Structure formats: structure tokens, C-alpha cells
Amino acid sequence: MDIKGKTAADLGRLIDVGKVDPVELTQTYLDAIADSEYGPDIYVRTTPERALCEAASAKDRAKRGMRKSKLDGVPVSWKDLFDTAGVETEAGSQLLAGRVPDKDCEVLRRAAEAGCICLGKTHMSELAFSGLGVNPRTATPPNRFDPALAPGGSSSGAAASVSYDLAPIGIGSDTGGSVRLPSGWNGLVGLKTTHGLISTEGVVPLCQGFDTVGPLARSVEDAGLMHEILSGNTVDFDQLPDLSQCRFLISETIYLEGCDSRQLQAFELAVEQLAKTGAKIEYAPVPEIAGILELAKDLFPFEAYREWGAEIEANPDAMFEPVKKRFMGGKSVTQETYEVANQKMLEYRECYDTRLSGFDAALAPTTPNSPPRTDKLLADIDYFWDANLLALRNTRVGNLLGLCGLTLPTATDNAGLMFLATPNSEERLLQIGRVCEGVIFEGYQQ
């Protein structure tokens, strides 16, 4: 069975008309994972017994015309921080080696209820606290465009599973950019959902005030269908906006500063193509971005250290030094400092929501920098630290401001175009993304 380049939605349609057998499809993906030279670097482990059992049920439902969703019978990969009953869930960290939950997390339960097939668990950055996706303690997945480059994280294996045709769609988490960053560096669509919209019950936490769940996919349609399953909210792709009626804001503050030429040129080309369709593009200073980024040094490390500091200090050699350094940075942040920063964050959010009023979304390069070489990152801890913080700069603005976000691939390898919209506007954002993915560069074919 030829699965190369197939979207999850396309596979669902083929199942619906009887042209694809869910059992054969699932076995094809399992075989592809086993045969791939990168399989062990992308998947921590597969779940073949569960997958084939779920596929058999999906096959029976399809025959009886009783499919549960448009993705019933479609295989899915899961980042290794989603609890899976009876299967090790270790969040990319030796600190959690041998951890076996006794039940599925809520989002996996919802996906299974919708008929999705659990292929297995994908590699990730340690405890999800790195945007580069480089993990010398477990495995570093390959970048789609060059295996020697960092894949982006922390949902590194989720991105690689889709971009290497080892899953039609992957589920990741996004605390500071961990869905959007690897999607941007691997030519994928990534959806960052509004905090609290999708359940994180049974998801290994990093910063509970910012953790979100979202899909990494080949198309906006795929992201929308999975969003429906995980959130319960409908996305109507039959009613798409006219881009000539859409208004986008480009911040003159922070987002474009320090971008390498590759990312900047990709962004400018994508924006040019949107403008050619009649989309209204406006540039303006947005001081809230600079202000809220200043708070990041207190907010993220504080929550991360309070979550994992004791475990790390009890076994400090288990963690890669640059990642451990990020966690330990929260030890000196006091409760009072955190509360002051959190209150300022809420004030910035209110100001920003007012500023974004009348715009459909803000646009930015998904990342300011292109993926560095993995070997260089491992050889130079200071370089790793600086590259990581820069890679996460643009994406984490969305988490700090409480926004939903979508990244789309551009005409340039390793470069994404990010849309940031007001909280709980995922349906409108996905509808806009569905239109934009076909026009952001000349000759793009969905």
C-alpha cells in the first residue's frame, strides 16, 4: 500500500469508500516504522497489538457503515508524554524510566473513541523543556530536510513521524512552541490550541499554566479534524473566508529582529503572496510583545522547577546539562516574583487583545533561526543554550499572551509562517489557514 504523502483526511475518505482496509493500513505503517533506518530515532516504541486490535474494530465499523469519525481507522502517533495504559510513558527523560500508567490520558481516550489507531509513542526533548528536539539521553529524531539538522522540539518525534511517512498525523504538546517549532522546521502544519481548551489530564506536565495539546499534520484539514476530536468543537471547512476580507497584523516589535536571511525571506515571500490575493496586511509596533517576553525568564522556569526540581536534584546526572540548566534557573525565582510576573502577564494579555481587535490574526516567522546542526549543538553547550532560546522566541509569545496559533509550511525548507489569533478562535483560524495554505507561495499545490 502506497502511503507516501497521504494526508489523514485522504486516508479517512479512502476507508469510507472501501478502498483502504484499516488493518492493512495500520500494518503498512508498522512495517514502515520497523523498516526505516530512522524508526528507532523517531519512535520510542510502537504498540502493534493495540493498533491492530483497534484497526480490526475500525474495519468492522467501516463495513457496517458505522464509522465514528472522519478519522476512524486512521493511525496516529503520540508524543511520549501522553499516558498510555500499560505502556511506558517516560517524557523523553531517564528520570521517568520505567514509568507505566494504568490508564490512557483523556485525549488518547477521546481519539480512541473516535476510532483513531494508536501507532505508538514518539521521542521528544527531556520533559518537553527544549525547543531544539536534540536529546542525547534517549534519541534525536532526524530533520525532514537534512537528518544532520536539529528537528525542533519538544515534539520532535511527532514531527518526524509525519514528515518521514511513519504516521499520517501526530499529537504533540505546546508549552512555549513545541508543536509549532518542529512543524515549522519540518514543513508541516502545527496547531497550538488555547490553554485549557483541550484536556491535559494524564499528560506529563511541564508548566501547567501554559501546557497545551495540538496536532502536527500534513494539511490544515487534518489539523482541523483532529482538533474536532480532541476538543469536541466543530470546524466547518465548507464555509471558508474570502482572503480579501481578512486583515492581518505584522508586529514591528521583536518578531522580525535577528531573523536569519532564510527565515526572513521565506516570511516576506509568504506575506507577498497573501497580499496578492487581496489580504490586508498592516505593520505596527506592538510593545506588549517585548514586555511579555521579559516575563518569560520568571514564569516558565518557576513552574518547571516547581514541577520537576526535586526529581532533578535527586538525580542530576540523568539530564542533559543545557536542559537541566533551564530547569534549575527556576530555583531562584521566588513565589512573590512569579505572582508579580503573572499579574503583569494578564495585564499585557488584556492590552494585546484590544490591539488585535479588528484583525483576523497576527503574522510572524514561526522561528527566527533555521535549524542548527545537531553535532554542533552537542559540542557547544553555550551555543545550544543560545540557539534554543532564539528558536522559541516567536512561538512562546503566543503562549504568554494566551493565544491560539497555527504554523503553515512556506516555499522555503525549514521555514514556517505563523498565525496568532485571539483565545478560543481556533475554528476561524483553521478556516483562514485552510485558504492560506494554498496561496502562500506561487505554485504551491495542496
DSSP 3-state assignment of 386? helix
Residue 443: its pLDDT value, please?
Answer: 42
Residue carrying C-alpha cell 504523502: 5
Domains, the chain, ranges and CATH?
Answer: 8-231 (3.90.1300.10), 243-291+321-436 (3.90.1300.10)
Cβ pair 60, 13 in contact under 8 A: no
Between CA 347 and CA 354, with CA 349 as vertex, the angle to 5 degrees is: 100
Residue 446: its pLDDT value, please?
Answer: 39
Cβ pair 178, 153 in contact under 8 A: yes
Q: Which residues are catalytic?
A: 79, 154, 178
* H or E element at residue 121: strand 117-122
Residue 441: its pLDDT value, please?
Answer: 61
Cβ pair 319, 125 in contact under 8 A: no
The separation between the first and the last C-alpha atoms of the chain, rounded to the nearest angstrom, is 21
Identify the DSSP state of 318. G
Residue 442: its pLDDT value, please?
Answer: 55
Sign of CA dihedral 215, 67, 105, 429: positive
DSSP string, 40-77: HHHEEEE-HHHHHHHHHHHHHHHHTT--SSTTTT-EEE
C-alpha cell of 4? 507516501
- The closest of 154, 210, 207, 203 to 182, measured between CA atoms, is 154
- Could you state, in chain order, the average pLDDT of each consecutive group of 10 residues for the chain (446 residues)? 93 98 98 98 98 98 98 98 98 98 98 98 98 98 98 98 98 98 98 98 98 98 98 96 96 96 96 96 96 97 98 97 96 98 98 96 98 98 97 98 98 97 98 94 47
Residue 440: its pLDDT value, please?
Answer: 87
Q: What is the pTM of this model?
A: 0.97
